[in-house]
Structure 1
Amino acid sequence: MSDFLSPLALFRDPSVAPLFISRVVSSASVGFGQLALAWGVMNLGYGARGLSLVMACNAFPALLMICGGVAGDRFRRHYVLMGSEALACLSWLAIGAALFTGRAPLPLLCALAAIGGVATALFLPTLRGIIADLLSSPNRSAGNALVNQTQSAGLLIGLVSSGAMVTAVGPAWSASMRGILCGLSVVLLSRLATTRPSEPGTGPLRDLWDGWREFGAHPWVWVMTLQYTAITTAVVCYTKIAGPLYTADGHGGAWSWGVISACEPLGAVVGALVGARWRPTRPMPMAALLAMSVAIPMLLMGSGAPWPSIAAAAVIPGIFQAAYYVLWTTALQERFAPGVLVRVNSWNMVASYVLMPLIMLASGPLAAVFGAEALAFWSGMTAVIATLSALVALRLIAWKGSASEVRAERAIA
């Protein structure tokens, strides 16, 4: 049993423990912000189209993620994380203040949501690289598992608490809590110690090119990225637009959506432990298959299922997605040099987030015309089709690799 819980032993290491405590705090803040923004916009009477516009503005700065990759490979990574959290703190405190007025103009909410999106774009790729700084190769799988566990635990706390807070005292308080928790995360991250990943001998544009070259040189990386792109857009439609609209329309309201959203991180707490120990013989095809599990609650919502059934089903992708995160992140950390790791991650992630603003803008009007159930159903089908396509592509790559080896052996003979 002690081996199964081995990632938790990292909490006893003072050189990395602040990162994991910070992930609990910061991820809890994400839960508060997720419900605060959705219900804040709807309570102001802006409807599905207004909600999709605000969410699109929040997603649009993800295009800057490649710049975050450059920053994460040129500066001390805990400094980049601290700066990102400080920016998020300021933007969410401002959103809370705007919602407290009860008549915040839509352009102001869009601008503040965009600032929060910039913080996310800087933060996410750097987070995926910092474990390589803090832990040696044998411990990285456990470290990645614990990052996912602490994120899931924090998100679980935030979503459940924010559902109650939004219902009891309103979304303005929930948005303000997001800002306060981001500020606390800055303090925790300041206790880490990382070194500069590489000396900046070239300009930012050359750094971007080097990262792209490393990213594009491995077919399995961009196949998985394309699948992740499709699945991310499906998840965004479901979590940001379809889910809140579905539950607000007579299916339990903010409280039920908070519970549904919390069930996935609840499953992820277990899934990360599984991922820390599991060593499949074909990790990438297995990771691709695990990612498809996000379709289960989407298809249930698309069929008009009651919210408790959707909540129960959401535990399954929580387990599988956490195992996917550990397999994928550890594979990148083991196969790419530390000096280019964050840039590779940023190219992987920006491809997934580049379509988000357009998806946000389109999904609100689509939900208004066809309904939240139809939007949820087709989001789930997108995840299924993308996964089947990725499995075929990975199989072709493996077949071509085997054929090349055979030709090389014949040439030598």
Structure 2
Amino acid sequence: MTSADSPSVRPRRPSWAGRNYSLLTASAVVTNLGSNGAVIAAAFAVLEAGGDAGDVGLVAAARTLPLVLFLLIGGAIADRLPRHHVMVAANALNCLSQAAFAVLVLAGEPQLWQMMLLTGLGGTGQAFFGPAAEGMLLSSVEGDQAARAFAAYRMAMQSAALGGAAVGGAMVAALGPGWVLAVDAVAFAVAGALRSFLDVSHIPARAAGGGLLADLREGWREFAGRSWLWVIVLQFAVANAVIGAAQSVYGPLVARDSLGGAGPWGLALASFGAGTVGGALLMMRWKPRRLLLAGTVCVFPLALPAAALAVPAPLAVLCAVMFVTGVTQEVFGVSWMTALHQEIPEDKLSRVSAYDWFGSVAMLPLATALAGPAEHAFGRTPALWGCAALIVAVTAAALSVRDVRNLTRRTKRVTRETPQKTPQQSKLENTGG
């Protein structure tokens, strides 16, 4: 008997972990190792340059504002051009912007406008990368193992986030934020090289006709026609905004004033990462029948970190809270990806993902920009309690919608094809008619 026929010889990876899936997972691991440390580094770069809560919020808003402005265009382009080309170009922009940010910080005191400009370029890259990457990932797996594949992907990604946050926080404390930003630039370069090998030959060619506006309208019809989809996105428009304000602005300030600085805050973020790994492991085995009911119930604990920072809780308690929050976030994350995978046609994945991203981050620039003024007006503790209350309120509202509670897991995805357009329809769409 040859070794190929031996029953003891097993494939080195599961059947659902194909070439594209493996490349996407490896590149996500690389970028998460760098980016999670860079989040901490950017906040402390602002503080070390003499900035306050308002300045930290402005730099965070500078990243998310172009993300909001360009997301829909990025989604339409990702469904029109080869998705891996869009991803590689976005990674190149992120690499260059982070490298320039690192040089500024290492060379001396960076100006606020310089940090805002460079983080804005990073947000622009993310606006084009996000929809392309999500569409590519969702199209890389098929069949009833999709949920397990998404859970494994997220587990790998969150494991890297865990390591990136812990090492990044330690590096900021020991070496300063500039070197962490430099590492992030290198990570984007490596990830872009990996993503250049992705294969898009399995994705059907787009039908001729129609322009960018027509693509956006078609994506909007897919998005608006599903109440479970737009309700959840509206929920996260508020939830992500207040979570961003709590963790991007108030978190580093509480860490500086009450926890001991960047190192403890990095440990807290690492605890959240450990929780997400645990949640992904759970979702590799658990397949809730009502996808969004299980996922949305698990959004309630996302209010806990803001509450812990409001107290402020001791570091051990904060780390425990962050761990629990990470577990429950992954339950929602895998359930959400599975719902999109089974309900949205492949040729519209990036556009629907763009509307999802757009709604989910639309209020984030405003929230982070207003975090500093809110602290001055109401105090940091009341502002954090307000963040926690808003998360609970919008999650309860989402659960009141029947389609959110009743969306059921299926084994087959939607395969509806885009209708062919007549020449007259294409002409009207190209002229805005």
Pairwise same-fold verdict (TM > 0.5):
yes
Kept in 1, the 8 Å contact 2:250–2:380? The answer is: yes
Say yes or no: does 1:9 pair with 2:17. no
State the alpha-carbon separation in 2 of the partners of residues 396 and 88 from structure 1: 36
Deviation by residue 1:127-183 (Cα, 9 ceiling, x = unmatched): 222123322233322221122112201111111111111011100111111111111
Task: Give the equivalent residue in structure 1 for 2:130.
Answer: 124
Within-5 A mapping of 1:11-410: 13-63=18-68, 64-195=70-201, 196=203, 198-199=205-206, 201-394=209-402
Kept in 2, the 8 Å contact 1:133–1:194? The answer is: no
Kept in 2, the 8 Å contact 1:87–1:119? The answer is: yes
Task: Give the equivalent residue in structure 2 for 1:409.
Answer: none
Tell me how far 1:36 sits from its aligned partner: 1.1
Distance change >3 Å, CA 294–CA 303, structure 1 → 2: same
State the alpha-carbon separation in 1 of the partners of residues 168 and 154 from structure 2: 20
State the alpha-carbon separation in 2 of the partners of residues 275 and 230 from structure 1: 26
Tell me how far 1:34 sits from its aligned partner: 0.3
Moved more, 73-82 or 172-181: 73-82
State the alpha-carbon separation in 2 of the partners of residues 266 and 250 from structure 1: 23
Deviation by residue 1:319-366 (Cα, 9 ceiling, x = unmatched): 111121111111111111100111111111101111111111101222
Kept in 2, the 8 Å contact 1:153–1:265? The answer is: yes
Kept in 1, the 8 Å contact 2:293–2:404? The answer is: no
Higher relative helix content: 1
Tell me how far 1:48 sits from its aligned partner: 1.2
Partner letter of residue 20 of structure 1?
T
Kept in 2, the 8 Å contact 1:37–1:171? The answer is: yes
Partner letter of residue 81 of structure 2?
F
Kept in 2, the 8 Å contact 1:299–1:380? The answer is: yes
Kept in 1, the 8 Å contact 2:98–2:181? The answer is: yes
Distance change >3 Å, CA 342–CA 396, structure 1 → 2: closer
Distance change >3 Å, CA 131–CA 138, structure 1 → 2: farther
Kept in 2, the 8 Å contact 1:247–1:254? The answer is: yes
* Identity fraction in percent: 28
Tell me how far 1:15 sits from its aligned partner: 4.1
State the alpha-carbon separation in 2 of the partners of residues 168 and 59 from structure 1: 28
Partner letter of residue 242 of structure 2?
A
State the alpha-carbon separation in 2 of the partners of residues 198 and 292 from structure 1: 41
Q: Which runs of 5+ in 2 are unaligned?
A: 1-10, 408-433
Deviation by residue 1:290-325 (Cα, 9 ceiling, x = unmatched): 122211222122122112211111111111111211
Tell me how far 1:198 sits from its aligned partner: 4.0
SS of 1:134's equivalent?
coil
State the alpha-carbon separation in 2 of the partners of residues 10 and 87 from structure 1: 34
Tell me how far 1:13 sits from its aligned partner: 4.1
Distance change >3 Å, CA 302–CA 207, structure 1 → 2: same
Distance change >3 Å, CA 16–CA 395, structure 1 → 2: closer
State the alpha-carbon separation in 2 of the partners of residues 81 and 13 from structure 1: 19
Task: Give the equivalent residue in structure 2 for 1:411.
Answer: none
Tell me how far 1:268 sits from its aligned partner: 1.0
State the alpha-carbon separation in 1 of the partners of residues 143 and 380 from structure 2: 45
Tell me how far 1:398 sits from its aligned partner: 6.0
Distance change >3 Å, CA 31–CA 73, structure 1 → 2: same
State the alpha-carbon separation in 2 of the partners of residues 7 and 304 from structure 1: 47
Kept in 1, the 8 Å contact 2:57–2:249? The answer is: yes
Moved more, 171-180 or 142-151: 142-151
Partner letter of residue 113 of structure 2?
P
SS of 1:257's equivalent?
helix
State the alpha-carbon separation in 2 of the partners of residues 112 and 217 from structure 1: 37
State the alpha-carbon separation in 1 of the partners of residues 355 and 12 from structure 2: 28
Kept in 2, the 8 Å contact 1:10–1:16? The answer is: no
Q: TM-score, normalised by structure 1?
A: 0.90
Tell me how far 1:78 sits from its aligned partner: 1.9
Kept in 1, the 8 Å contact 2:20–2:140? The answer is: yes
Kept in 1, the 8 Å contact 2:242–2:364? The answer is: no
What CA RMSD, in Å, does the superposition of the two structures yield over aligned residues? Answer: 2.1
SS of 2:390's equivalent?
helix
Kept in 2, the 8 Å contact 1:131–1:140? The answer is: no
Distance change >3 Å, CA 275–CA 383, structure 1 → 2: same
Partner letter of residue 52 of structure 2?
G
State the alpha-carbon separation in 2 of the partners of residues 175 and 216 from structure 1: 39
Q: Which runs of 5+ in 1 are unaligned?
A: 1-5, 400-413
Kept in 2, the 8 Å contact 1:288–1:387? The answer is: yes
Tell me how far 1:12 sits from its aligned partner: 6.5
Kept in 2, the 8 Å contact 1:75–1:197? The answer is: no
Distance change >3 Å, CA 210–CA 396, structure 1 → 2: closer
Aligned residue pairs: how many? 394
Q: TM-score, normalised by structure 2?
A: 0.86
Moved more, 129-138 or 291-300: 129-138
Tell me how far 1:288 sits from its aligned partner: 1.1
Kept in 1, the 8 Å contact 2:238–2:391? The answer is: yes
Tell me how far 1:369 sits from its aligned partner: 4.2
Kept in 2, the 8 Å contact 1:66–1:347? The answer is: yes
Distance change >3 Å, CA 167–CA 10, structure 1 → 2: farther
